[in-house]
Structure 1
Amino acid sequence: MTYSAPDGSRLIEDISTAGFYPQLVEDVVRDSLDGRQPVSHLVQLETHFNNTELHRHITVLVLAEDVLHITHVDDQQFDDSGRDVVARVSTETVGISQIRSVTLSYAYHQPQNYRPDTPIMELTLAVSWTGTQQLELYPAMCEDPECQADHGYTGTAASEDVVMRISSEADGKDAVEGAREFARTLRRANLAPVTDSGAQIAQSPHQRPMTERRPSEAPVQRPRFGHRFTGRDSGRKSS
């Protein structure tokens, strides 16, 4: 199941709808946001079967002002009855300026019949910031079926830190379009020109915050730093 919204207003609702330890996930996400307001989000709950065991895990991506938050929660059973369970939580905060690439891969069914309104069958979102190389190697083969020579290995190398696959068959067409819109928002924030409001330029002007700020509360002021490579003031804060 995959959920998203053009702004961050449905973040808590979508976490609750996913139904995977929603209070725990909500608290972890709130803590990682550290007062920042969500601009856009993507929530994905996945289920896997391993022999007789059932495993679920949830990934929450939140674009919040000048950073991207990644929260991942899965559970592990320590007994056959499933009563002894531990939830493992990992969070990461990445500055928008640190993101190297936002890659979208599409799949269309029956491309010979493609029209502008043809729905996307499958979408894969890959976000990279550390340059980690994912390697897939397999023995190289030649065209001679009787050849016994060692041709070494061949394969592919992809730079990716987060990869999310959304299928219209499993998640629905709205989920695919929502994921694409999240990727577009993230890409705009990453590539947008620097302004006085920094990454806030990616935020919808009609966005409703996740939590209402009390009138008496003053906005949290965060320090601004110059860009260490170009010397310009990036308008982005430390994470």
Structure 2
Amino acid sequence: MSEIVTQFSDNFLVGPIWPASIMLALMIIYSGVAALGVGDFDAGLDVDVDMNVDLDVPDLDVVDVDMGGGGVEGADLNHPGLFGSLGAMTVRWSNFGRIPIAIWGGVFTLALWGISYSLWHGFDVHRYSATLIPSILLTIRNAVIAVLITKPVTQPLVGKFDKEPGYDSSRMLGSTCEISSIEANPSYGQAKFRTNAAPLLLNVRTDGSTFPRGTEVRIIDFNRSKRIYTVTKINSES
């Protein structure tokens, strides 16, 4: 019995394989619980990191809340820095948040485990020791490769789980709102739309100008596919 345990440990709980093995075990447990109806396997992480990865200026939308009558499109990170933009672009590119997290996580975990196991026993074990630092570095390398595999595998699922916006965008056109991000410009921005209850948070882009926080603007257009409102400044005379 001890020999079996030792062999199992040497094969599955060594070097960079053990983090992947733990993740795989947790994913199997979660899938089993979800299959029994206790969990929600289709729990999509409603994270809309709306970055326009088709080489447009990045949009950083991290929460997509469906409010029925009005649009709450997400929390743009105010004035993201270079590293924030690159990080969000990487997340968007990998399809994380664009499909249910359970599906993305399952594909990533399987890829990570397979890569970790095969590379360790076929290549790494002869070149690295199974100590902490090499294991961490190898795990990072394996995770990057796993993301590169997860991207094309999950790409056909992108858009399959998107919900149609439940708000009436036509009602918003012509209405006014207030810039709530540090500023809004043609590339990014956020505004509060006042309601009888809590204000709705909208992703906005300007019609060419840059407006600081607190500027009253008017909604003049809505991009349904990106769920972004175009706004213009209200003339002082009006």
Shared fold per TM-score greater than 0.5: no
Hey, which of these two has a bigger chunk of helix by percent? 2
Task: State the TM-score, normalizing by the size of structure 2.
Answer: 0.24
Q: Which has the larger radius of gyration?
A: 2
**TM-score, structure 1 length as denominator?**
0.24
Relative to its length, the structure with more strand (as a share) is 1
